[in-house]
Amino acid sequence: MKGIILAGGKGTRLYPNTIAISKQLLPIYDKPLIYYPLSVLLLAHIKEVLLISTPEDTPDYEKLLGDGSRLGIHIEYKVQDKPRGLADAFILGADFIGSDSVCLVLGDNVFYGQYFSTILANAQAQIANGGAAIFGYPVANPKEFGVVEFDEHFKVISIEEKPTVPKSNYAVPGLYFYDNRVVDIAKNVKPSARGEIEITSINNAYLEAGDLNVTLMGRGMAWLDTGSPKGMLKAAEFVQTVQDMQGFYISCIEEIAWRRGFINKDQLRSIGEELKMTDYGRYLLSLLEE
């Protein structure tokens, strides 16, 4: 399975913070926001990653993450010259995806939960023989999101984008698993009224084929909104609180790469030594004392 992180856009809701820098390069407490979606792919054992961003911001991501070898993975980059909708990621990434299945995670989504790795593994299993897997997360304001409706067997009935009258309080977060059909589906999606290729159209195509699965993220899972200054602050406070209380770091990509066997102890120690003047670096070195 391949992984795609979509980190484009202008981040206008965060101006003036994002006039000169991509939103996903801003910090959520002690690490760049982009670390959080990248950690999702690592937790899912995905080692081939495509990062899509703007012409202006792509060099900064390359400077931060390189080719991925530092983490024992492979990262490629693709430029999206202007926003054309989330589903455009599959068109831009068609050659990268090849004949594989793919996981798309949005660059500004933060997930955290004790059983998150299991949730990811189950989603991958759901599409092993074809299909798509999405998620539902309970929110207090479903009118502001794409909303999924499902029956008593958790089979999807409908998906609506920012409905006036929501049919459930479960929003669809920015994490999607698809079989290889998604590339052709995306190429045939007609742009919406706002001129973008919507991810909802992709999901509805799988729904009409009877191949769309939904997993509900309930108590014990956190999906954090980083679309506003207040959301960024709350996400940072959440990360700080959990890390201070538990002693474990959230979305520490080097730790995940080590625990997944992508890098060895010597490689982890080398990274920790480079950053030993920070709490982050000292945390990496402390892992080697376990």
Q: What is the pLDDT of residues 191-249, one digit of tens each?
A: 877 778 889 899 999 999 999 999 888 878 999 989 889 999 999 999 999 999 999 99
Residue 257 placed within a domain: no
Strands (E), 151-230: 156-161, 170-171, 175-178, 212-216, 221-224
Angle ∠(141,38,214) on CA atoms, nearest 5: 45
Q: Which residues contact 130 (CB under 8 A, 6 or more apart)?
A: 179, 181, 211
How far apart are alpha carbons 76 and 252 in whole angstroms?
Answer: 20
Residue 261 placed within a domain: no
In the predicted model, residues of the chain with pLDDT beneath 70 are: none
Picking from 191, 209, 199, 208, the residue whose alpha carbon sits closest to that of residue 172 is 199
Residue 256 placed within a domain: no
Residue 268 placed within a domain: no
Residue 223 placed within a domain: yes
The total of structural domains in the chain comes to: 1
The pLDDT value recorded for residue 187 is: 94
The pLDDT value recorded for residue 160 is: 86
- Residue 97 belongs to domain with CATH number: 3.90.550.10
The pLDDT value recorded for residue 11 is: 81
How far apart are alpha carbons 244 and 35 in whole angstroms?
Answer: 19
Question: At 25, which amino acid appears?
Answer: L
The pLDDT value recorded for residue 223 is: 93
Residue 263 placed within a domain: no
Residue 283 placed within a domain: no
Residue 264 placed within a domain: no
Q: Tell me which residue range forms the domain holding 201.
A: 2-251
